[in-house]
Structure 1
Amino acid sequence: METSIDAVRFAHQHPTQNQLLRIRGENIFLNFVTAWLHYEASLDRCTRIFMTINHPSQTTNRPAIILLSGGLDSATCLAIAKSEGFACYALSFDYGQRHLAELAAARRIGKSLADVHKVVQLDLTDICHSALTDRTSTIPQQPDTGIPITYVPARNTIFLAVALGWAETLDARDIFIGVNAVDYSGYPDCRPGFISAFEQTANLGTKAGIEGRGFTIHTPLIEMSKADIIHKGLELGIDFAATVSCYQADETGKACGVCDACRLRRAGFEAIGVRDPTRYRVV
């Protein structure tokens, strides 16, 4: 018995040439299989990355609500959401604003970029006094050190609340708003603290939020300068000639050239050395 055991032990310790070739062949095969599996995994990752960059809608396609006023910022915000692969449900408001050309611009942009575009009739003229809704008020031509009279009381709170209702109905979890806290008129409902507080409210005050299907308020422009926003919009193919920012644009969309919105818009184009396509009444 000991002789047999010794023979087996000797055979393991001193394999024949054929055994060595077989072992070497098995190792080569295993190494090949391992390398191929790693290659396939890498190829799959590369393919997913390529598809995400070049065909984002094929990889994400989640519904998102995008607040669309018709101005430069909201148009860029919509283009960003679209570039990230969201199915874009644009939402605009006819709230009694004196610059109705902006709403016409929203319809043009929504038709071009959004999957769905709704315009909600929500007259705020009787309850939210502002120079933007009161045609007897004079739009200021110089920047104000405080909150300007063009502030519409609780406007973004109201708009976001309606957007939240639509999002919950659509089972959407993402809401985009083009607020900016760098080159802006000083409105309190454009600041990061407000957005953070509203997102928390949304997740505390909705069925979806309580059930763990919370909402995210996206503000991709909030820390960008006006020049940065314009540059980003141009990268995404936005035709800024189709947008209206002016607080008192005429019925054709021609901008006054002197209000705060026009001033910020002009400065943004000048900062990046790009021709401003806006039609101004005062050059």
Structure 2
Amino acid sequence: MKKAVILLSGGLDSTTCMSVAHQEGYELYPISFNYGQRHQRELESAKAVASFYRVKEHRIFEIDYVGGSALTDPSISVPAYQEAEGIPVTYVPARNILFLSYALGYAEVLGAEAIFIGVSSIDYSGYPDCRPEFIEAFQQVVKVGTKAGVDGKAMTIRTPLIQLSKAATIQLAMANGAPLHLTTSCYQGGEKACGICDSCTLRLKGFKEAGLVDPIPYETFSV
């Protein structure tokens, strides 16, 4: 059976990616990361999603971040959502570069054909490592920087959500039977989602535009 490594945070987007890979018949090898994020709750969601799909193995990697983000430095507050230009304080330096590097090494060991990552260039917070040009550049790294790539068997970086709005992502997840009730997206990491951070707001707007009700609990609704 063909194999795929899935970057699984436990959030809506990565879980939708998992559902796409599952629908396409891949044997699923999700990986998650404990990088000192304040929203540690997402790791429990990732475990629950992996269990739902009865995966053969779910690996959680430890990365010792030095801060530099509201998600990894407790002295930097997570702001409420606001429409503004520029890269927000919730950007984690080089996060997707690191995550994809781990995924790439693991995929090469497994002999996997694909790596799935839930980046979107439509409904996102302005992170530079969620753009098509970043994915294209990393695909070139796969081609020239791995044995598989040199041998003409480079793994494909799959981004099924990159041109989808959050509403379209949610509709895809529902069509695939993805367990969105097990996911979390909140940057605060509380028992209930805060409802006002960037991630919560984009998620709630997506459900509203899709004409659906978000199955997870919130402290408040900003949309």
1:255 paired residue number: 193
1:203 paired residue number: 143
1:140 paired residue number: 79
Is the Cα–Cα contact under 8 Å of residues 143 and 185 in structure 1 kept in the other structure? Answer: no
- Cα distance between partner residues in 2 of 1:249 and 1:230: 21
Task: Give identity over the alignment, percent.
Answer: 51
Farther off after superposition, 156-165 or 231-240: 231-240
> Shift of residue 117 of structure 1?
0.9
What is the identity, as a one-letter code, of the residue corresponding to 1:136? S
- Cα distance between partner residues in 2 of 1:73 and 1:144: 22
Is the Cα–Cα contact under 8 Å of residues 143 and 260 in structure 1 kept in the other structure? Answer: no
Q: Which has the higher helix share?
A: 1
Deviations 1:57-108, CA, capped at 9 Å, x for gaps: xxxx201100000000000000100100000100000010000111110111
- Cα distance between partner residues in 1 of 2:11 and 2:61: 17
Query: 3-state DSSP class of the match of 2:163?
Result: coil
Of 99, 118, 129, 1:189 maps to 129
- Cα distance between partner residues in 1 of 2:95 and 2:149: 23
Alignment of 1:58-207 (within 5 A): 61-113=1-53, 114-124=55-65, 126=66, 128-141=67-80, 142-207=82-147
What is the identity, as a one-letter code, of the residue corresponding to 1:273? G
- Cα distance between partner residues in 2 of 1:62 and 1:238: 20
Q: How many aligned positions are there? A: 219
Deviations 1:13-32, CA, capped at 9 Å, x for gaps: xxxxxxxxxxxxxxxxxxxx
- Cα distance between partner residues in 1 of 2:41 and 2:84: 24
- Cα distance between partner residues in 2 of 1:219 and 1:65: 12
Is the Cα–Cα contact under 8 Å of residues 39 and 186 in structure 2 kept in the other structure? Answer: yes
Query: 3-state DSSP class of the match of 1:96?
Result: coil
Query: 3-state DSSP class of the match of 1:241?
Result: helix
> Shift of residue 123 of structure 1?
1.8
1:239 paired residue number: 179
- Cα distance between partner residues in 2 of 1:133 and 1:197: 26
- Cα distance between partner residues in 2 of 1:175 and 1:101: 24
Q: 1:262 to 1:118 in 2, by over 3 A?
A: same
> Shift of residue 249 of structure 1?
2.2
* Residue 230, structure 1, aligned to residue 170, structure 2: yes
Is the Cα–Cα contact under 8 Å of residues 170 and 207 in structure 2 kept in the other structure? Answer: yes
> Shift of residue 134 of structure 1?
1.0
Is there any run of 5+ residues in structure 1 with no aligned partner, and where? 1-60
TM-score normalised over the length of structure 1: 0.76
What is the identity, as a one-letter code, of the residue corresponding to 1:259? C
* TM superposition outliers: structure 1 runs of 4+ over 6 Å: none
Query: 3-state DSSP class of the match of 1:229?
Result: helix
Is the Cα–Cα contact under 8 Å of residues 128 and 134 in structure 2 kept in the other structure? Answer: yes
Query: 3-state DSSP class of the match of 2:58?
Result: strand
TM-score normalised over the length of structure 2: 0.95
CA RMSD of superposed structures (Å): 1.0
Query: 3-state DSSP class of the match of 2:104?
Result: helix
Higher relative contact order (CA 8 A, sep 6+): 2
Deviations 1:102-134, CA, capped at 9 Å, x for gaps: 11101110111233211111121x2x4100011
Is the Cα–Cα contact under 8 Å of residues 65 and 90 in structure 1 kept in the other structure? Answer: yes
Is the Cα–Cα contact under 8 Å of residues 15 and 179 in structure 2 kept in the other structure? Answer: no
Query: 3-state DSSP class of the match of 2:142?
Result: helix
- Cα distance between partner residues in 2 of 1:241 and 1:168: 32
